[in-house]
Chain A
Amino acid sequence: MGRKLLTEHINVEGIETFDVYRKHGGYRSVEKALKTMTPDEVVEEVKKSGLRGRGGAGFPTGLKWSFLAKPEGVPRYLVCNADESEPGTFKDRQLMSKLPHLLIEGMITGSYALGANTSYIYIRGELLYVLRILEKAIAEAYAAGFLGKNILGSGYDLDLFVHPGGGAYICGEETALLESLEGKRGNPRNKPPFPAVQGLYARPTVVNNVESIAAVPVIVNEGGDEYAKIGVGKSTGTKLFSACGHLNKPGIYEIELGLPVEEFIYSDEYCGGIWKGRDLKAVVAGGSSVPILPKELILKTAAGEDRLMTYESLSDGGFVTGTMLGSGGFIAMDETTSIVRNTWSFARFYHHESCGQCSPCREGTGWLEKVLHRLVHGHGQMHDIDLLVSVAKQIEGNTICPLGEAAAWPVAAAVRHFRDEFEWYVTHPQEATKPGAVYPGKLVTA
């Protein structure tokens, strides 16, 4: 059984309160950092830990921190990205609602490291009830002297606020998030300038995912080198996976990076296998925007090695035979699943969530949805399948933010690995469009 660095105490009665959290070792990283370390030393530990952004991009957190501009006399900000919206991902919601003080502790230690005196947690608007939990916990932290003026007598001041979104996937993109925090539409900004130079209110800003910030306390407490000992290669530490779809035990699992995918799916310690005694057909391993893989390729790489839950192993084979770790939104589909319908659902999602700023995305996501809609409803033609691939290619790389790729990749991958099923919708429309229809052909065309 792997170590649980973030969620060890998640089921302790009352852990959402300051007192119980503190009794279980909470806020030690704040004491250690503020009393015995300089801000740069904290950044150094995070660098050494090898922690990579847990929101999806996997960019090294310590490196991101070291890019923060520090012009004299200009405030800078740490903003927590709690706009968890990537389909298949629900780890941050669990983490924040059950362990609000872990995120707050990470925000304090992180803000100290970056020299921020005001920090924000931007939480998706649908999670207003979690905002209430966080605000209650923040009030407790103020009362205990861990927030506010002169924290623990160190001379360091920090105010921490929670800000709700209004329902927009795009605000998970960091510059759209900052626009939204400024009270505007969530249109991503052109980069450069990057937020590290011009972020919130055009001031230097670091934006980190909830889970990344929640990993900071353990890194400071145990040291970056200790943290880096867990995991495999450049995939250090533990990661929360949100397991959903056709699994016996969907839920949140904190794993040591390096766990074989097969063990994660089938072991009783984790997902407990596929529901209803069925066979696995396909997996989307890192949230809806990463390429789907058929069973054979999610369990083993093309070279026949065990696929591991690491950034490197999941992307082994590139987009031809691999995928990405992404946000850790792990969606399993059983043998009765219609890949075409599922792809349509994701395409509809991205079309709905496109902010409309860049025409390749605004129009392209509409085309993807429309073409898939006609396939799913039995009106597709053979050339529609290539049309999907062509539209996906025209979106990719031609937009301000990665939503374009997020929409294009899943469609391209579904056609790549399941083309014969798409063709079945064209050749057997009446059969394919019956409610509960199951594609009778071979499962994989990889």
Chain B
Amino acid sequence: MESTALKPQFSEAAKAEIERICQQYPEERRKSAMLPVLHIAQAEFGGWVSPEVQDLVAEVLGVKPIEVYEVSSFYTMFNLKPVGKHVLEICRTGPCMLRGSEELTAHLERITGAKVGGPASEDGLFTLKEVECLAACGFAPIVQVREQYYEQLDTPEAVDAMLTELRNQVHRPALPWEENGLPNALARN
């Protein structure tokens, strides 16, 4: 049963950005915009892509929903479950491990109270996610939060500075096509 009341909608600014992106590919190849549009969807709808949001992506691209599901489940950047306000993606691969990523992960679990791979911290602020190599090995250990890289997190001070900055971030940083950043983790239904 279709319920229009619950159906998510892209903001006007996002719609315009999606159309700009679709122009980059041959007309009959609109599906090519899949990944960039999924990134926009995740930024628009609270840091994750629900089945309803994925259906919206399918509609916008003119493809079947399954074509979106099979892609969103393949690429690790798309969160398929609700997340906290800030998703901390901690690199765990060899070069970061050599420079203390395991200690960093344990430290972040202690401070935030969240567990890697588990639900968000009780205050709803942080989700911890371990990821593979982020291509910044010379600045290890590293955490990525949205489009920001936090590097050389090998001291408690560096970690504190990152967490303080994130706690003070009421809205996520604005994307190039937005006037203002959206409130963090507020699904705009």
A interface list, Cβ under 8 A from B: 84-90, 92-93, 120, 124-129, 132, 135, 159, 161, 163-169, 180-186, 201, 242-246, 250-252, 284, 288, 329, 331, 333, 337, 341-342, 345-346, 348-349, 352-353, 355
Give the residue name and chain of the B residue nearest to A251 (CB).
Answer: B138
Chain B binding surface SS class: mixed
Q: Are B94 and A342 neighbours in the complex by a CB distance under 8 Å? A: yes
- Chain B nearest Cβ from A436, distance in angstroms: 10
A126-B77, A129-B147, A243-B138 known; A166-B26 Cβ under 8 A: no
> Of B7-15, B28-36, B155-163, which stretch is located at the interface?
B28-36
Asked if B135 is at the interface (CB within 8 A of a chain A CB), the reply is yes
- Chain B nearest Cβ from A256, distance in angstroms: 20
A182-B29, A183-B33, A186-B74 known; A89-B137 Cβ under 8 A: yes
A242-B137, A250-B139 known; A128-B95 Cβ under 8 A: no
Taken together as a complex, chains A and B put the C-alpha atoms of A245 and B140 apart, in Å, by 8
Asked if B180 is at the interface (CB within 8 A of a chain A CB), the reply is no
Asked if B121 is at the interface (CB within 8 A of a chain A CB), the reply is no
Q: Which residues of B contact A90 (CB under 8 A)?
A: 135-139
Of residues 123 to 150 in B, which have CB atoms within 8 Å of A's CB atoms? 131-140, 144, 147-149
B interface list, Cβ under 8 A from A: 24, 26, 29, 31-36, 38-39, 61, 63, 67, 70-71, 74-78, 89, 92-95, 97-99, 131-140, 144, 147-149, 176
Q: Are B98 and A333 neighbours in the complex by a CB distance under 8 Å? A: yes
Taken together as a complex, chains A and B put the C-alpha atoms of A159 and B98 apart, in Å, by 42
Q: Are A183 and B71 neighbours in the complex by a CB distance under 8 Å? A: yes
Taken together as a complex, chains A and B put the C-alpha atoms of A346 and B96 apart, in Å, by 11
Taken together as a complex, chains A and B put the C-alpha atoms of A352 and B39 apart, in Å, by 21
Interface centre among B26, B39, B75, B98 (most CB of A within 10 A): B98
Q: Are A165 and B24 neighbours in the complex by a CB distance under 8 Å? A: no
Give the residue name and chain of the A residue nearest to B75 (CB).
Answer: A166
Q: Are B138 and A87 neighbours in the complex by a CB distance under 8 Å? A: no
Taken together as a complex, chains A and B put the C-alpha atoms of A341 and B102 apart, in Å, by 12
